[in-house]
Structure 1
Amino acid sequence: MIEEKLDQLGIVLPTPPKPAGSYIPVVTTGNLAFVS
């Protein structure tokens, strides 16, 4: 749906860059979860 609308408008999104580092999505400590 979104891709179709972008095509109709002639909008081309650039490819996203590769991550510059290693990312950990979740760190748990005891009963806490820290989400990035």
Structure 2
Amino acid sequence: MKITIAEYLLKRLKEVNVEHMFGVPGDYNLGFLDYV
């Protein structure tokens, strides 16, 4: 099964109980923000 880097990162963040994320939307992370 293939997963994207965004899916993997969000899964790991959930496993360590991250509840908040801060950042600045931009061209390079808009795809990631779609997963959030």
TM superposition score category, shorter chain reference = 0.3 to 0.5
TM score, norm. by length of structure 1: 0.33
TM score, norm. by length of structure 2: 0.33
Structure that is richer in strand per residue:
1
Larger radius of gyration: 1
